[in-house]
Structures are given as structure tokens and as C-alpha cells.
Amino acid sequence: MMQNHLADALALAGNVRQLFVATADANGIPHLAIAERITLEREDTVGVTAWFCPRTVENVNENASVSLVVWDEQRDAGFQLIGEVTQVLDLAMLNGFIPGETVTVPQVERKLVVRVDQILTFSHAHHSDIDLA
């Protein structure tokens, strides 16, 4: 069952091109990022790729728990994927290229490899947060 809902979430992410990545540090202080794409890596594992800011990577190194949200605002329908980051892969690096900003650290495109443990519906309207998997 998880496979069907995971496939639906990935298809939705491809259509709306919005994927939110919520992490928290070791003290529970949250941080929100947005990713560019999500891919199926294995049956219960996805890869989330973006030019993540350093805080996202610091957080997942301290606290591997993550929530991924894909949401279609027009239909008010989406999914929340809850899981654990099992690996962080560096894909590409730029040093100092953000127009109009002084950059002190290189920008790194990374892939977060996430084992998905739960899939929930996500919407602005009332919903139950019952695991779909």
C-alpha cells in the first residue's frame, strides 16, 4: 500500500514542483526548506535534491527525523512523508554565486536520502493525520 501512496506523492511533486522539507536540530528548533525534486530510490526510500542551506544539513546530521510535504494549493490536496535521513550526498558545488549577496560558504547541491516510515494526507482543510501506508 505504501508504494501506491508514495508513487502518488512523487507524481504530485512533479506536477506542482513544490516540496517542503522540515527538519529540527538536536534541541528541537525547527527549520523549513524547499526542494527542487524528489525521486524514488528504493521501495520505501526517496531522494530529495536541492541547493540546501547549511542549516538543513546541520539539522539532519544532529537529528535524522524529517517531514517532507508536497501540496497542491489549487486542489488543497497533498501528502506528508515522515521518515529518517539515512544519507546526505553532495552532488555539485558553487563557490560564492548568489547575485547581490556576499557568500561566506560554498553552495552545495545535495540529495537527502530518506527512508519513509509514514505517509499522511496533507491539506489546509480538516484532515485526520492517519497513516495511509
What does the pLDDT look like over 24-66, one tens digit per residue? 999 999 999 999 899 999 999 999 999 888 899 999 999 999 9
- What do you get for the CA distance between the two ends of the chain, in Å? 6
* Coil, helix or strand at residue 58: helix
Residue with more model confidence, 132 or 117: 117
Q: What are residue 109's DSSP bridge partners?
A: 92
Which run of H or of E encompasses 4? helix 2-16
Query: What's the whole-number average pLDDT of the chain?
Result: 86
User: What pLDDT is stored for residue 82 in this prediction?
Assistant: 97
Among residues of the chain, what percentage have pLDDT more than 90? 52
13: its cell numbers? 511533486
Q: Are 57 and 31 in contact (CB under 8 A)?
A: no
pTM for this model (two decimals): 0.84
Give the Cβ contact number of residue 111 at 10 Å.
Answer: 21
